[in-house]
Structure formats: structure tokens, C-alpha cells
Structure 1
Amino acid sequence: MVSRVIPVDTFDLVIFGGTGDLARRKILPGLFRRYSAGQMPEAAQVIGAARSEMSVNEYRAMVREALMEFSDKAEQGEEVIAGFLQHIDYQQVDAQGDDGWEALREKLRDGIVRAFYFSVAPFLFGDIAERLKTRGLADADSRIVVEKPFGRDLQTARALNATLATYFEEGQIYRIDHYLGKETVQNLMAVRFGNILFEPLWNAQFIDHVQITVAETVGVGGRGSYYDKSGAMRDMVQNHLMQLLCLIAMEPPARFEPDAVRDEKLKVIRALEPVLANEVVRGQYEAANGEDGYLDHAGDPRSITESFIALKVRIANWRWQSTPFYLRTGKRLRARMSEIVVRFREPPHSIFGEEAGGRANEMTIRLQPDEGMDLRVTIKEPGPGGMRLVDVPLDMTFADALGPDAEEVPDAYERLIMDVIRGNQTLFMRGDEVEAAWAWTDPIIAGWEEGKTKPAKYDSGSSGPEAALELLHRDGRRWREIRA
């Protein structure tokens, strides 16, 4: 069952965990941007729900502070902020008890879209889902939004899916991965499937390898105890990087519709080959360059949890046989950078001689900090003196290409929240996708946990452990440099 698409004349959105960090940093500022752009219906209602005892005016004051701190649109002025705050309400609710649920139900309106955002710890998902259903707050057209982690292994993911399925149909469940809401990620599909130029080349015959990098400059900070139970594999690879891999590697869907797209992503996950032990590099940052080390914040001072991981991935199908995918992600690296690099094969024969060197086209899809794409092509270097070749980029940076309008491109959260309201699940993970990803991930984690292998140390502010470089060097390749 797919949730019915209802014209969005108005909606009720309840944010459980409405006083929490995610609500303050992302959800509420994202909604404010949509309001500022004139895309929030006049009668829309946003209700924060949390355990804190707080009046509506006190909650609105908290929301105002969050907008001033985290929204680049707050500069539009007091009148705009005041208008947005009129859409904000608050209800104290005990997620695991009885208090507040009847009062919350009375705030909700009939005959419109009701969406419930679970911005809370995963152990509360089942309690909230059960109360929404049994106390009459959710109906057949309601949607729930759940944040990662979607379990910590296959067993817990299955249990979570089963719990949610007890109260809601799959078509009502929106598992949010904000990476899929980025403009560049969606443009990747447009470039692949909207241009005949690329799709005929999008296979092992023409592509040498693919790199997916998500590098962060921040450390674990105050999240040390949580991160110690997760690590980079669970926190990033199983979801964010897996989704990017699927979009790069999937077959063309029959239509740009939720299940058609997600069916093709699922096929990619199920085609992933097991990763060999010598094709995984784990790292943990240590104090250097004036920055602290992982163990300064870890829940266990002897922790062997990885803050960095790199791995070589193979896809066992006709399109990608012999083309490896290299994935890496880590904290406290040299620069904040998320990108996908598609390295094409060199021409089979160079008419320009050995002195021209090997030349290969390269497409780079940048997710952050500057969303866009560039394609490196080989041209003759201008000037006299013979045929000297040089590689130059054909740059498709959105801010440059679109001009002032690029500033109005929605960020990931605001786009995905509005997709929830519209009933569009295309950019959300399906339950069987989550379980298939864990089924591939679990044996990799089990391999190093059984061997109690320690992660390699790397300096804060570096590009990661040396062994990650060797992962590509032994294949005659090299990582694209991590740089701002």
C-alpha cells in the first residue's frame, strides 16, 4: 500500500522530540525556509511534542532562538519570523506513558494530512507508533517519519520494521536519509537518465572505478558514548554511502516513481559481493595539530571503535563486473567534503604518443560544501609548440550556473519533509532495503569483532590512515585528494 497523495492545502505536522537538537538545527529551520519561500499553506500547523513542561509561548521563544542561530533566512526580519511562529504549537507528551496524548489528539484536525516526525531515540519508536494508532491520532492517510539508526544489525532492523508494521503500512513509513534530499543526488539521476550522452557509457566497459567519499572535520565530541556503540560502518556506510552507491549503480527504473526506484536500489544491494578482510581499512583519529583524539571522548578509554573506514566493494552483475567501488568516510579529516568520483577508462590507444601521458575523463559529483558537478576532459593546451594536452573541467556548480536562484534551492531536510506531506516516498528507504543493507554489512563487522582487530591510528586533520591509500595503490589507482 502506498499512502494516498492528497492535495496539500494544509497539514498537521507533529514533531516528537520537538525540543531536541535535530528539531532545533534542521527540522524547524527547514520548515521556516519553506514558509519564507511561500510554500507552507496558510493553515498549516506544526506541533512540537516532548516531555518538557512548557507553554506555547515558551516553545515559540525556543523556536525563535533556534531560527536565529541555525537559519540563514532569519535575517528576513521580525515580521516573517512572527508569521511563522503563528503556525507553531506545543504539547507536553509522555512517549511511554499516558499523559498528553488526549490533549494532542484534540489539537489535530480531521480530513487533512497528518504527519508525525519521530525525532527521538529509536527505542521510543514502538511506543509512539502504538499510541498514535490505538489512541486515534493516526488514520489511513497519516505518515510517520523515522530517523536513523534503523537498527544496529539485521536482527534489530527486522524487529524495528516488524514493530512499525504492526501499526502502520509500509506506504505510511518514511525512513529519512538526508543525503537523498540533496540537490546533487537527485541531479545524479537526472544526468544519468535524462541524457543519452552518459547512460551508454555507464558500465564496466567504460568506467574504470568509482570513489565515494564523505569526509568530516568534526570529531565525535559529546556523542562519544553513542558513537562507541556505532562506529563509522554503522553510522555512515550502511545507510548514507550505501544509498549513494545504489543511485550510481542501479539500472534505469521504468518510471520515476517510489517503488520503481527503490526496486532498482534493492537489486544493487542484493548484488553486492562479500568484502574480503584485506579490502577493509579501519582507523581511529588521535590527537594532533592542536585537535583532541577519539579516546578523549569515547565511552571506553580502550575503545577499538572505528572513526574512519575505507573499503573496496564489488557488484556482481553484468553492468559492473570488474569495476570496483571504493568507499571511505571518517571524522577529524583534513576537510569537510562529500563527493562521488566516476573515473572513466583511458582511450584504448593514444595517437599523441607516450609523452602525452595517460588521459582519462573524470566526473565529480559534489554533495558538499559546494553542490555541483564537473567533468574533466582533455584538450590541447593553447599556444604554439606542438600538441600539448591538458585536462580541464567543465564545471556545473549550481551557484554559478543558476545565479541568485541557486540560493533558493531547498536543503535536504526541508525538501524531504515536504515530500512526506505530499506522500512521495521516492527519496526514502523501504524496509526491505534496510534489511538487505544490514545483511551485507553484518558479516563485515563480525569479521573484525571476532578477531578483535584494532583500528589503525591517524592524525586529526589528516586524510586518514596510510593503509587506506594502499587500498587503491595496490590496484594501480589513487584516491582523489581530500581538500576543502
Structure 2
Amino acid sequence: MVARVIPVSPFDLVIFGATGDLARRKILPGLFHRFRVGQMPEDAAIIGAARSQMDSGEFRALVGAALEEFVAEPDRTPETIAAFLSRLTYVHVDAKGDAGWDELGAALRADTTRAFYLSVSPSLFGSISKQLSTRGIATAESRIVVEKPFGHDLETAKALNADLLQAFDETQIYRIDHYLGKETVQNLMALRFANSLFEPLWNSTHIDHVQITVAESIGVQGRGEYYDQSGAMRDMVQNHLMQLLCLIAMEPPSRFEPNAVRDEKVKVIEALETVAPENIVRGQYRAWNGKNDYRGDAGNPASRTESFVAMKLAVANWRWAGTPFYLRTGKRLRARASEIAVVFRDPPHMIFPKMEGRKGNALVIRLQPDEGITLRTTIKEPGPGGMRLTEVAMDMTFADALGSDLHSQDAYERLIMDVIRGDQTLFMRGDEVEAAWAWADPIIAAWEDGNQQPAAYDSGGSGPEEALMLMHQDGRRWRAIGA
């Protein structure tokens, strides 16, 4: 199956930090893919803006090298790359000074959608947005995209929101979380709200518990200094895992419209009960197979920063009372895998003989590495000899069911096109970000005040033993990472 491509309207996209790592690895290759399949109109323009002194030809050469490195060979030809690079220009801009802003304004067209992607440090959000506003470069219809980390805590998140709101209206601000651009995450909403099969069962009467796992096999080497100031709670739980939790637990919105969806997500965050200390596990990976431990990778021999978090959460509303949500994320684990497992309750009365090792019905939504949805069901084992039960999985891997073209699309591609279309549904609203920080801050503060060391865990494993016990004490078990 080939994805149906609907071209967007003409646009001028300015990428601040266009020579940086994120732009080279994700943003520009993503735009190239949208150009390759015909979603970018002929007169779309991409303007790189950064402090590096270079001209447009040098910038095109840099982008061309990035495409050679980060775009698969079957997806690129010299002709396609040349045509894409012809859409690119470059302006040297000093984010905190005067240089380049007049040139940037002159490069933009009057009757075209203007979008500004801030692939820069959050410390520059305020100065860039102010320059765009005071110099008249941003219009009332312009859009501004900002990357995580959106704040270090509630106080800094409020300050960043205030800076942006001095120059832009909330309807113009797109706080990007690439997890929400994944095909499976979007399909989760379709699965819940476009089918009559699951929504009647989507409550504590029928769901025993929910597991959300985001596991990474790599450590923090290469970004240890940043990570050591952040940790798994700030880097992953407060944003990525919180967004997945919201989509699983939210009430049906009145319509598929940005504010209606985001209203329901905020309600989930506000309904989260305070997490008891015994329901949280922090971990830090130790040396393994010749590789550094976390402290070695972070360059801090006394670090108490967590590289792993597991927790048990409760959503205090009628739909979810009595159904726990178990979250875990960590570095240097057995495999790279992200999934949501919705585990259903057993039938109230089982008429068949007990099946050894039965796990029960579960809906597993896989986010990476192979996006798809699996429904685990119990059936009769084929053949004679009585009623023997077995469990099978009805699997829908998107690459197999819908074609590799759909599977290959990156989250950044979808989200950037949503920005151009003016669709904020999959972007975080300011009050949503602040609500998530208001929930996370007391947990982080308690860790910092307690002076407690994270539990050590073996690299290449499943995390600390304490995380296994978090579920064992409830008579449940984590799904195997990468299963």
C-alpha cells in the first residue's frame, strides 16, 4: 500500500540552528523525504539560520553531506537531492545581536505561510522570538516550533512560556514531542475512538493494568554532561512517557480538534495521584563487558543521577480507579524497545481447566523498533485430545500490513507538515507542559533532598531488581523487554 500524499500550501520554513546535529540528522532529512514523495510544493523554501559564517552554497554542501549520511540510498538520487538543495538558502544570524535579521526578513515572501523552527538551546527561545516579533519578521499567521527540553522544572517552563507568549499567541506555538508523531501513537487514537470494539472495554472494569516501557540499549556517552543535569525523569518521563499515558487514559474528546484533544490530556495529568516513595524505583547502570558505567559515561564519579526510572501511577477518576499504570524507562537495557501494553482482566468465571503459564488478553502497541499492534488472545490448541488452550497473537506490523512506505516515515516528517498545515493536535499546549512539571517537580525534589543513591543495575539487563519487585508485590510481571 502506497501512502496517499496531499501537498501542503507554499511555505517559507526558517530553521534556526540549521547547522546543528538535530537539523542534520532529523529535520532536513525529514523535509527531503516529504519533498521526494511530492508533499512539498514547487515553491516551498527552506532557509537555514545559524551563527556559522557560510554562504548558501556552503550550506547546501553541508545538507547534501547530511542526506548522504542519514537518508537510505534507495530513497535518494543525485537528481532528487539536487532539486531539494535548490530550495535551500542560508542566512548568518546572531540570535542575541543585530547581525543577519534584516537579511532574514528580506528572504521571506509576503503571501506565504511562515514557520520558524527553533532547533537551538532553550536559552535562546526568548531572544529569537523577541527579534522575530519586534522586527516584524513574524506575522499574526506565523508558526514557531520549539524543541525539548521545554524547561528544567515548573519555574523555568513558566518563564519559557512567558517569553514565547510575549511574541506569539498560543495558537502559533508548536511544542514538539517527536513521540507524538509516531505512526503507532496516532493510530492509538484511531484504535480507541474510531472502533466500537475497544472503547466499551477501556476502563477499570475490564483492564487490569497498563504497562508503558521506553527502553534504550545505548548509554549516555556523548551527551553525558547534559544528561547528568537532567536524568531519566526529566529527559523521558515528564514528557515522552507522560504523553503516552495521556493518550491511553484520556476521555474521548468531543471532536478531533487540537484544543479538544489537549483539554482531555491535561485532565489526565491533573488527575494523577501523588506517587508514594515505595512506588518509585531509580536506577543507574554499572560497568559491563568492557563498557563504562553511568558515572564514567557522564564524567561524574559521584553522580546520583538516575539512568532508569520505574513507577506505579494511579489516575484518580471514575474510568481508571483501581487500574494501576506502570511506567519504566532506562538506558543500557537489554534492547531498544518502546511499547504500551494494555492488559485485560480475566473472565469473571473460567469454565476451562487452568492453563499453565497463561498470561491473558493484552493489547500491545509497539512504537519501536517495528511499529505495530498485537492482540494476545486465548484459543483452543488445534488437534484432537480434548480442550487444550493456547495463546496466540493477532499481529498487525505496519510494514507488513500497510506497506513499507508508511513504515519508513519519520515522526519529524509528519509533525513538520502538521506545522505547515496549522494543525496543533499532536503538539503540547503551554498549560499541559506546566501541569506535567507540576506533577514531576515534587518527585524530583524529594530525590534531591533525600540524598539517596540510585539502585545499580547490570548493563544489558532489565533494570534494577527493585523495579521487578514493584510489580511482583502486586502479583504482576513486566513484559520482557524486546519480546
CA distance in structure 1 between the aligned counterparts of 2:165 and 2:233, rounded to whole angstroms: 26
Local SS of the residue matching 1:136: coil
Shift of 1:385: 1.3
Deviation by residue 1:140-162 (Cα, 9 ceiling, x = unmatched): 00000000111111111111111
Computed over aligned residues only, the root mean square deviation of the Cα atoms, in angstroms, reads 1.2
Pairing of 1:310-389 with structure 2 (within 5 A): 310-354=310-354, 360-389=360-389
User: What residue identity is the alignment partner of 1:320?
Assistant: W
SS at match of 1:425: coil
2:380–2:389 Cα contact (<8 Å) kept: yes
Is 1:287–2:295 an aligned residue pair?
Answer: no
1:360 offset after TM fit, Å?
Answer: 1.9
Change (3 A) 1:135 1:230: same
Superposed displacement of residue 237, structure 1: 0.3
What CA distance in whole angstroms lies between the structure 1 residues aligned with 2:261 and 2:300? 41
Match of 1:466 in 2: 465
Aligned counterpart, 1:4: none
Deviation at 1:346, TM superposition (A): 0.7
Counterpart for residue 305 of structure 1: 305
Pairwise CA distance, 1:300: 2.4
What is the TM-score normalised by the length of structure 1?
0.97
Q: How far 1:462 sits from its partner (Å)?
A: 1.1
The residue aligned with 1:50 is 50
1:9 is displaced (CA, Å) by 2.9
Alignment correspondent of 1:3: none
Question: Matches of 1:471 and 1:377 in 2, distance apart?
Answer: 26
Which secondary structure state, in structure 2, belongs to the residue aligned with residue 171 of structure 1? helix
Distance between the aligned counterparts of 1:104 and 1:418, measured in 2? Answer: 22
**Contact 1:48–1:89 (CA<8 Å) still a contact in 2?**
yes
Partner Cα distance (2:227, 2:350) in 1: 50
Q: Does 1:261 align with 2:256?
A: no
**1:221 counterpart residue number:** 221
What is the one-letter code of the residue matched to 1:235?
Answer: D
Question: Is the 2:8–2:39 contact (alpha carbons within 8 Å) kept by the matching residues of 1?
Answer: no
Report what 2:451 is aligned to.
Answer: 452
1:241 maps to which residue?
241
How far the C-alpha of 1:353 sits from its partner, in A, is: 2.5
Deviation at 1:76, TM superposition (A): 2.8
> Separation in 2 of the partners of 1:84 and 1:357?
55
In the alignment, the residues of structure 2 paired with residue 61 and residue 99 of structure 1 have an alpha-carbon distance, to the nearest angstrom, of 23
Per-residue displacement from partner, 1:349-379 (whole Å, max 9, x unpaired)? Answer: 1111235665520010000000000000000
TM-score normalised according to structure 2 size: 0.97
Name the structure 2 match of 1:17. 17
- Cα distance between partner residues in 2 of 1:413 and 1:440: 27
The equivalent of 1:104 in structure 2 is 104
Aligned length: 477
Note if contact 1:359-1:378 (Cα within 8 Å) is conserved in structure 2: no
How big is each residue's C-alpha offset from its partner over 1:237-270, in whole Å with a ceiling of 9 and x where there is no partner?
Answer: 0000000000000000000000000000000000
After superposition, the Cα gap between the structure-2 partners of 1:74 and 1:388, relative to the gap in structure 1 and judged at 3 Å, is closer
- The CA deviation at 1:299 is 4.2
1:163 is matched with: 163
2:4 is matched with which residue? none
Deviation string for 1:459-482 (max 9, x for gaps)? 111111111100000000000001
**Structure 2 CA distance for aligned equivalents of residues 9 and 208 of structure 1:** 46
Secondary structure at the residue paired with 1:221? coil
User: Residue 238 of structure 1 contacts residue 441 of structure 1 at CA under 8 Å; is this kept in 2?
Assistant: yes
Describe the SS at the equivalent of 1:300.
coil
After TM superposition, give the deviation of residue 399 of structure 1 in Å: 1.0
| Residues 416 and 439 of structure 1: CA distance in aligned 2, closer, same or farther (over 3 Å) | same
CA contact (8 A) 2:358 2:391 kept: no
Q: Provide Cα deviations, 1:428-464, integer angstroms capped at 9, x if missing partner.
A: 0000000000011011111111101110111111111
User: 1:349 & 1:356 partners in 2: Cα distance?
Assistant: 17
Q: Residues 51 and 357 (structure 1 numbering): CA distance in 2 closer, same or farther, change over 3 Å?
A: closer
Distance 2:400 2:27 in 1: 27
* Structure 1 equivalent of residue 418 of structure 2: 419
Query: Kindly, what percent of the aligned residue pairs are identical?
Result: 69
Residues 281-290 or 239-248, more deviating: 281-290
Change in 2 beyond 3 A, CA 1:46/1:357: closer
Change in Cα spacing, 1:354 to 1:187, as seen in structure 2 (3 Å) is same
Distance 1:161 1:84, change over 3 A: same
Please state how far the C-alpha of 1:112 moved relative to its aligned partner: 1.0
1:218 is paired with a residue of what secondary structure? Answer: coil
What secondary structure is seen at the aligned counterpart in 2 of 1:327? Answer: strand
> For residue 93 of structure 1, what is the aligned residue in structure 2?
93
Q: Which amino acid aligns with 1:418?
A: M
**Whole-Å Cα distance in 1 between the matches of residues 301 and 266 of structure 2?**
39
Residues 233 and 309 in structure 2, CA contact (< 8 A), matched pair in contact too: yes
Deviation at 1:75, TM superposition (A): 4.3
Q: Distance in 2 between matches of 1:466 and 1:381?
A: 35
- The C-alpha deviation readout for 1:201-246, integer Å capped at 9, x for no partner, is 0000000000000000111112111111100000000000000000
Contact 2:398 2:404 in 1 (8 A): no
Return the letter of the residue paired with 2:425. T
Quick check: 2:214–2:338 contact (8 Å CA) kept in 1?
A: yes
Contact 2:9 2:421 in 1 (8 A): no
Shift of residue 74, structure 1, vs aligned partner: 6.4
Residue 8 (structure 1) shift: 4.0
Correspondence for 2:272: 272
Q: Is the 8 A contact 1:346 1:359 kept in 2?
A: no
Residue pair 2:312, 2:326 contacting (<8 A) in 1 also: yes
Q: What amino acid sits opposite 1:72 in the alignment?
A: A
Once structures 1 and 2 are overlaid, which stretch shifts more, 246-255 or 287-296? 287-296
SS of the residue corresponding to residue 261 of structure 2 reads helix
Cα deviation 1:270-327 (Å, max 9, x = unaligned): 0000100011100111111232211112242200000000000000000000000000
Q: Which residue of 1 aligns with 2:391?
A: 391
Cα–Cα, structure 1 residues 357 and 455, in superposed 2: closer, same or farther, change >3 Å? closer
Alignment of 1:187-198 (within 5 A): 187-198=187-198
- Matched residues in 2 for 1:248 and 1:215: separation? 19
Write the distance in 2 (CA, Å) between the matches of 1:430 and 1:462: 36
Change (3 A) 1:359 1:293: closer
